[in-house]
Structure formats: structure tokens, C-alpha cells
């Protein structure tokens, strides 16, 4: 048994959808989650800058004695995962590989769509992974800059959100994809809208469920899982204002947040 916590980070609250699945899949594990609110959003930033932020946070979490780092952010995974896996002396799991694998397994016509932020699309990691798994598969990526602000608004299920999803889905429908990767951790919050727009004929792949399974399998494979006869704890850190983190966080986690600690960006930079 290994009672150390699992470290999870994201640019903000979107990664809480992944944490929720982890808490359900591994109720006996402890987790510490860091949201980099002071520097969000990551999506429009250059990949090099995102890579630096991810390295700072992952190094900080490693110094907190976590046993695994989960990069619960598609943009950070796209920009930094290989580098983090090389530099850190502990397992690092991202949200892209599990999704790519699930999408290749699910598709029947080998036409896969991707909805994600600009940074994730530009990084091209999904295309690399999909083609590594099936060289004949076609990936159609679409950047969705309007979705994250709409999902974080007071009314994420507004007509404007549905209109935006329809707009972005249009390209994928024209390409006749039968599987769509929802490549942003915010997107599970409006899952019903995606299901309505695409219909039952299209398989939707979400990062949260696939990634939680990958984390559980990694802990078991490494022999560092916690004992099952206990209920795990979780705590939260943010580089931004704790009250703002709480305001959105409970909507994404769908569980009480408890105490939220503030971490200065300078502390992250100093550790890295």
C-alpha cells in the first residue's frame, strides 16, 4: 500500500471533471488538485509558455510528495507530457492517450472528429497518437474558442452554447465522422448538448472516464495503489482567488470542495 496522494493539475476548474471520475473510480485514494487560475486560460497561449507552466506545477506537486501526477488539462498534456515524463521520477499520466485509444477502438468508419482548444489542435498530439494506433484512420480537428467561456458562464446550457456546438459540429458532420473526441476537460459539463447535436449514431469520447481508468491501471501496475478499506481525502490549491475557485469548482466537481489553499505563482517558479 502507498498512502501518498495523487497530484492533479489544470489551468482552472475544467480538470475537476477528471478528478470527479477519479474519486468515483478510486474512492480509496487521496488526491491534491492544483488549479492555475492566475494564468488561465491556457488554450490561446503559445505551446512553449504552456509547457513552462506545466513543468512548474508538476515539479511543485512532486515536491509535495505525490506518487503520480495527472495532467488533467488537454492543452498542457499536448504541450508538455513527454517532457514531464522524462524529467520527473514518478509516473505522469495525461488526458490525450486514453482518449485517442478509446476513439480508435470505437470508430467503425475510421473517421474521427476532435473538438478542442486552439492550443490542443495546434499541438497535433491527437493526430500523432491516432495515426500511431491506426495509420489509416482520419482525424478531423476543430478548434472551439467560444466553448470554454460559455461553459464557465452563469448559464452553460444557454441557446448560445447550443448554437456554438452546432457550428463546430458542422465540419465534423460534413466529414461523416462516427466518433468525436471531446478534447477539453470542460466539455463533459455540457454532455447533453453534444449528445443532442450529434445524435446516437456518433460515439462521444470524454477525457474524464478514460483517464481515470488509466490512472487506476497505472497505480495497480506500479504497485503503488492505496488500501481499499478506507475512504480517500482530497484537497485543493489555486494560484488565483480561492472564492472564485469555489464558485465554479463545485459546479464542475459536483461534490463539496472543503478548504481551498492559495499558492503564489512565484512559489511554483521557485521550485521549478
Residue whose cell numbers read 490525450: 96
Q: What SS3 state is found at 121?
A: helix
Residue whose cell numbers read 508538455: 80
**Average per-residue pLDDT for the chain:** 95
Task: Give 272's pLDDT tier (boundaries 50, 70, 90).
Answer: confident
Do 185 and 147 touch, CB atoms closer than 8 A?
no
As given in the structure block, the three cell numbers for residue 87 are 524529467
Do 90 and 157 touch, CB atoms closer than 8 A?
no
Catalytic site positions: 73, 184
Q: Is the pLDDT of residue 170 over 80?
A: yes
Return the beta strands (E) in 176-254 as ranges: 179-183, 203-206, 234-238
Q: What span, in angstroms and rounded, lies between the C-alpha atoms of 266 and 272?
A: 10
Q: What span, in angstroms and rounded, lies between the C-alpha atoms of 130 and 185?
A: 19
Q: What span, in angstroms and rounded, lies between the C-alpha atoms of 8 and 92?
A: 10
- Is pTM beyond 0.95? Reply is no
Q: What span, in angstroms and rounded, lies between the C-alpha atoms of 36 and 10?
A: 6
Q: What span, in angstroms and rounded, lies between the C-alpha atoms of 174 and 196?
A: 17
Reported as a single tens digit per residue, the pLDDT across 193-233 is 999 999 999 999 987 888 999 999 999 999 999 988 889 99
Reported as a single tens digit per residue, the pLDDT across 140-163 is 999 999 999 999 999 999 999 999
Amino acid at each position: 500500500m502507498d498512502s501518498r496522494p495523487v497530484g492533479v493539475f489544470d489551468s482552472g476548474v475544467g480538470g475537476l471533471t477528471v478528478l470527479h471520475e477519479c474519486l468515483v473510480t478510486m474512492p480509496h485514494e487521496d488526491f491534491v488538485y492544483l488549479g492555475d487560475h492566475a494564468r488561465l486560460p491556457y488554450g490561446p497561449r503559445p505551446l512553449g509558455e504552456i509547457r513552462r507552466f506545466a513543468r512548474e506545477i508538476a515539479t511543485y506537486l512532486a515536491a509535495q510528495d505525490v506518487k503520480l501526477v495527472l495532467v488533467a488539462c488537454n492543452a498542457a498534456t499536448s504541450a508538455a507530457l513527454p517532457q514531464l515524463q522524462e524529467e520527473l521520477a514518478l509516473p505522469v499520466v495525461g488526458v490525450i492517450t486514453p482518449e485517442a485509444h478509446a476513439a480508435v477502438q470505437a470508430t467503425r468508419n475510421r473517421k474521427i472528429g476532435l473538438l478542442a482548444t486552439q492550443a490542443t489542435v495546434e499541438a497535433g498530439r491527437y493526430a500523432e497518437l491516432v495515426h500511431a494506433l491506426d495509420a489509416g484512420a482520419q482525424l478531423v480537428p476543430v478548434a472551439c474558442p467560444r466553448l470554454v467561456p460559455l461553459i464557465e458562464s452563469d448559464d452553460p446550457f444557454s441557446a448560445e452554447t447550443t448554437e456554438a456546438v452546432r457550428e463546430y459540429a458542422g465540419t465534423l458532420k460534413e466529414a461523416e465522422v462516427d466518433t468525436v473526441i471531446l478534447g477539453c476537460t470542460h466539455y463533459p459539463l455540457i454532455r447533453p448538448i453534444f449528445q443532442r447535436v450529434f445524435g446516437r449514431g456518433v460515439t462521444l469520447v470524454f477525457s474524464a472516464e478514460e483517464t481515470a481508468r488509466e490512472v487506476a491501471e497505472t497505480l495497480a501496475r506500479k504497485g503503488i495503489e492505496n488500501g481499499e478499506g478506507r475512504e480517500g481525502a482530497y484537497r485543493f490549491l489555486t494560484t488565483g482567488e480561492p472564492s472564485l475557485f469555489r464558485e465554479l469548482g463545485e459546479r464542475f466537481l459536483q461534490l463539496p470542495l472543503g478548504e481551498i489553499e492559495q499558492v503564489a505563482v512565484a512559489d511554483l517558479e521557485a521550485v521549478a
